[in-house]
Amino acid sequence: MIINHNLSAQNTLNALGKNNSATNKSLQKLSTGLRINGASDDAAGLAISEKMRGQISGLKQASANAQDGISLLQTAEGGLDQTHSILQRMRELAVQSASDTNTSDDRQKIQSEVDQLAKEITRISNTTEFNTQNLLAGGLSDTFHIGANAGQNLKVSVTAMDAQTLGVAGHVAIASSVDPKSTGLSITSVSRGMKAAAGYEVTVTTSAAAAGTVTTNIQTATNAATLVIAGTSDEAFTGTVDTNYQVKVAAVDSTAATNSVTSISYSTDNGVSWTTVNGDFTTGKGVTIDGLRLEMTTAASGDKWTVGDTYSFKATASKTTLQLTDGTNNIGASIDAHKGDTSITVGDGLSGESVNLKFDYDTMMGSTSGDTLTFNVDHTDSKAATVNAGQVTTNATAEAGIDVSTQKSADAAITTIDKAINAVSQQRSQIGAYQNRLTNTIDNLNTSNENITASESRIRDVDMSSEMMNYQKNNILQQAATAMLAKANQQPQSVLQLLQG
Domain ranges of the chain: 48-167+419-451, 179-397
Q: With respect to CATH, is domain 48-167+419-451 assigned 1.10.600.10?
A: no
Question: Going residue by residue through the chain (501 aa), what tens digit of pLDDT does each one get?
Answer: 677 778 888 899 999 999 899 999 999 999 999 999 989 889 999 999 999 999 999 999 999 999 999 999 999 999 999 999 999 999 999 999 999 999 999 999 999 999 999 999 999 999 999 999 999 998 789 999 999 999 999 999 999 999 999 999 865 443 333 333 333 333 333 333 332 222 333 333 333 333 333 333 333 222 322 333 333 333 333 333 333 333 333 322 222 222 333 333 333 333 334 333 333 333 333 333 333 333 333 333 333 333 333 333 333 334 334 333 333 333 333 333 333 333 333 333 333 333 333 333 333 333 333 333 333 333 333 333 333 333 333 333 444 679 999 999 999 999 999 999 999 999 999 999 999 999 999 999 999 999 999 999 999 999 999 899 999 998 999 899 999 998 888 887 777 777 776
Give 312's strand partners.
Answer: 248
Q: What is the Cα 59 distance to its own chain's centre?
A: 31
Tell me how crowded residue 310 is: count the other CB atoms within 10 A of its CB: 11
DSSP 8-state class, residue 261: P
3-state SS record for 296-314: CEECCCCCEEEECCEEEEE
Is residue 24 helix, strand or coil? Answer: helix
CB 205 within 8 A of CB 409: yes
CA distance 26 to 195: 91
